Structure 1
Amino acid sequence: MKKILFTLLVVSVLSVISDKAFAQFEKGDKLLNAGINLGGTYGGGGIGLGASFEGGVHDFISVGGQFDFMHWGYGGGIYNYGWSYNFINIAARGSYHYGKHFLKIDNLDLYAGPALGYRIASSSYDGVGYDAYGSGVFFGAFAGARYYFKPNLGVFAEVGYNAAALKAGIAFKF
């Protein structure tokens, strides 16, 4: 059984990476990232989910939006107390795709840019809500990479001061 599963895994991986991918960013591309957020930028760790969508308006520039949810907290323990922080970020974002200036790797897209949006924050300690961070306008900056296994399917990772210190997941190109 293990040999059969291993063979299926190898065949699946080879079929995914066997097609030639053309992923250098171009005007008109529509990009969707969906994945997990790790490490909150608002004073703590945390984990969350996020997605971003951008459309190419120039050979090197894309604009769009993002939605992210982050949570971190602690509950229970011997003294039965806990705290919780939740953040929802809705933002506009833009990216400059600089990879094709100096890379000849077709299936790698390097990009960086700013995000500007609104953060909805909520927090509680022992079940009582309080305003630890406050909701309001936020500014973020990020740098990322997309690596495509197929012409329209790949993985992405972003670092920076945005909704999370690290974002990673699956990337789609339409």
Structure 2
Amino acid sequence: MKYLLALVIPFLFSAQNVTAQAWTKYTKLISVGLCAGNYYYLGTTRAAFFGPTTGRYNPVTGQISVEGEFGVHEYIGVGFNAGFGGARSGTFGVKGSLNVPVGVLANFHFYQLIEDLTGTNLHAEAIDVFVGVSIGTGLGVISYNNVSDQVVPLVFGGAHVGARWYFSPNIGLSGQFGFGKSLVDLGVVFKLN
């Protein structure tokens, strides 16, 4: 039994050191937030004043967002994002819109890289700063004042910058700004490992 404990205890401490950084190759996380989305609704829209128009409609919408990210390299993560939201409009005969976006993302976590290269303590165990790209699609529903509702495809894509601050080893706050999946996204992040 003593020998088993002598083997297991160092393993437990080494496993703690692996997760002491805010981002590693083994990181798995889920974040939930509120965001302002800006998705392109494709197809022919039926604006009341202009009749059918071909093009895009891209209102800023309030969203509930869910994002997952999984480490594939010491500084790179890939994942998914999804959401549900909508907006009231009142312009051009549009009452409002609902949307359900889903997409993929890739992030480069450069704060950890800077700490590793400089050898200084930048508190990368609690702070994660990253840049990334996202692309996706989904469905939107546009409601009109004088005609029936319309279901249209939506698309998004773009770059973002973000930061996460972990106030405990597995729970933190997240903020992202950019274009694509959201203009701004603020929420809570949970590490799963």
Q: TM-score range with shorter-chain normalisation?
A: 0.7 to 0.9
Distance in 2, Cα, partners of 1:59 & 1:67: 25
Q: 2:130 aligns with which of 111, 128, 135?
A: 111
Cα pair 2:39 2:156 within 8 Å, conserved: no
Counterpart in the other structure of 1:102: 114
**2:161 aligned counterpart, secondary structure:** strand
Deviations 1:125-151 (A, max 9, x none): 1262146xx414432322111000001
Q: Which of residues 146, 149, 152 is equivalent to 1:129? A: 149
CA distance in 1, matches of 2:155, 2:39: 14
Q: 1:70 aligns with which of 77, 85, 100?
A: 85
Unpaired stretches in structure 2, ≥5 consecutive residues: 1-18, 41-57, 116-121
Please tell me whether Structure 1 or Structure 2 has the larger radius of gyration of its CA atoms: 2
Question: 2:23 aligned to 15, 22, 25, which one?
Answer: 25
1:71 and 1:130 map into 2 onto residues whose CA distance is 14
How far has the Cα of 1:23 moved from its partner? 4.0
Length-normalised TM-score, structure 2? 0.68
Distance in 2, matches of 1:51 and 1:141, equals: 17
Name the CA shift for 1:169/1:139 in 2 (closer, same or farther; >3 Å): same
Once the two structures are superposed, what CA deviation does each residue of 1:65-94 show, in whole Å capped at 9, x if it has no partner? 11112300147xxxxx86111221111111
Aligned to 1:34: 32
**Which runs of no fewer than 5 residues in structure 1 stay unpaired?**
1-20, 76-80
Q: Are 2:111 and 1:88 aligned?
A: no
Distance (whole Å) between structure 2 residues aligned to residue 158 and residue 74 of structure 1: 25
The whole-number CA distance in structure 2 between the counterparts of 1:148 and 1:23 is 10
C-alpha contact (below 8 Å) 1:40/1:70 kept by paired residues = no
The amino acid across from 1:123 in the alignment is: I
Whether the aligned pair in 2 keeps the contact of 1:38 and 1:47 (CA below 8 Å) is yes
Partner SS for 2:149: strand
Q: Please, what TM-score do these two structures have when normalized by structure 1?
A: 0.75
